[in-house]
Amino acid sequence: LEAIRDGFLSSGQLELVEGLGRVLPLAVIKDFYGVAAPQEKPGEVLSKTQIAHFFDRAGFSELPPVWQENYASLGFSTTPDQTLLFWVRMLFIEVFLNLYNADYLTELAKNASSELLDHLEAQIRDRIAHPKEDGTMVSRFISMYQQHYGYSDQHLMIAVRQSVLELMVGSTDTTAKGISTVVKTLLDLGKDLVSGLQFLAANKPDVPEQAKETVKEQVRQFLEAWRMGGEPQRAAMAAQLDPMLDEAIITCLRMNPVAPVLPRYCTNGATYTSSVGEVLNIEPGSVVLLVSQVTMGANLKNKVPTDQEPFIFMDGTPHACMGHHVAMLEIREALKMLLTLSNVRPAAGNLGDMTYKYNMPAAMLLRCDPG
């Protein structure tokens, strides 16, 4: 985060999605989960599937020979980190977004999965052969499956690989979208990040109309003190700032959920009673859609407090988000970093508009004032 801040301050601009939103989840993959990016080797490509995707193909063999040989001169480039994120993104799209089972996306995911599984397997086998007490999830899974389940050899490798894969695919792009979505929502509510937070604070259900301007000024003064303060002062202010940001984050995600629609496959069938008492029989094999954006939007309109929103993390259901504390931490720390800079705002013109690919944030340029 410090490096991102320094780069933003020196250049006056930051690419929100690729420069911040996807960087923090990548750091979690590498430093918390314990999965390194692939290593570049002379004469080898990091991912043939990534090259195919650049040309809108699902597999490298589908490319004409001239593209296979000259992909670099035709505009393709990547880094080890970008390749790792590409693999995870393709699996995420297939699992969570490919609602219509598009063959192209499924084939892309299969090819990317093959490359990622080989990459993971090599790292896990090395970690099993050379154990480390580094506190990463890979090391913890190895220890857990060995000590509590008695797994070894191929059985151990597969169990660890599957567990780590589920963490990576389930958390990386959802958190990246959460970071970008929250920042964009705040900027939509105000002309800059601070005024977006002022708007949310002044429009809380318990704030009377005559107190709104006072609340806005209090928020402005508090955030200005945060921006101007040194590390000791910011550490002292965190106990007050963190809850304020958590509430703002949840409100933003109620307005613009990471998953506006949650499809679920009903294996055995079920009976559902609606709020008006209508009984619906759900046939086995049906796909049931929870339109969380509508549900949370109604709760927001009816002034249900953020700490009583049942659908934000699906707590108490079989679909609960088990890692939302880590995601909230990443989003909160991203906001705290941005709030140390002056006048964080969208860039003028089209560059400041969020663009999307696969219904996921793709690009949005931010500006800040120097010094």
For the residues of 217-246, what is the DSSP string, one character each? HHHHHHHHHHHH--HHHHHHHHHHHHHHHH
**What number is the average pLDDT over the span 196-223?**
96
| Of 20-34, 87-101, 181-195, 222-236, the least confident | 87-101
Q: What is the pLDDT of residue 51?
A: 98
- Report pLDDT for 272: 84
Residue 1 has what DSSP assignment?
Answer: -
> Closest Cα partner for 8 from 19, 17, 18?
19
Whats the size of the chain, residue-wise?
371
pLDDT of residue 189: 97
**Separation CA 80–CA 37 (nearest Å):** 5
User: 129 to each of 123, 156, 157, how far by Cα in Å?
Assistant: 10, 12, 11
Collapse the DSSP code of 282 into the 3-class scheme (helix H, G, I; strand E, B; otherwise coil) and give the result.
strand
Q: Which of the two residues, 311 and 326, has the higher pLDDT score?
A: 326
For the chain, helix, strand, coil in percent to 5 are 60, 10, 30
Q: Report the 10 Å Cβ neighbour count for 136.
A: 18
CA nearest to 53, candidates 105, 115, 103: 105
Contact 180, 354 (CB under 8 A): yes
SS3 (DSSP) at 14: strand
What is the predicted pLDDT for the residue at 318? 66
Residue 366: what residue type? Answer: L
What's the confidence (pLDDT) of residue 295? Answer: 84
Running DSSP on this structure, what letter comes out for residue 37? P
Q: Tell me what percent of the residues of the chain surpass a pLDDT of 90.
A: 78
Mean pLDDT calculated for residue range 277-291: 88
pTM metric for this prediction: 0.91
Check: CB of residue 45 under 8 Å from CB of residue 51.
yes
In degrees rounded to 5, what are phi and psi of residue 310?
Answer: -80, -15
- Stretch 25-41: mean pLDDT: 96
Average pLDDT taken over every residue of the chain: 93
Is-contact 361 181, C-beta < 8 A? yes
Distance CA 206, CA 226 (A): 25
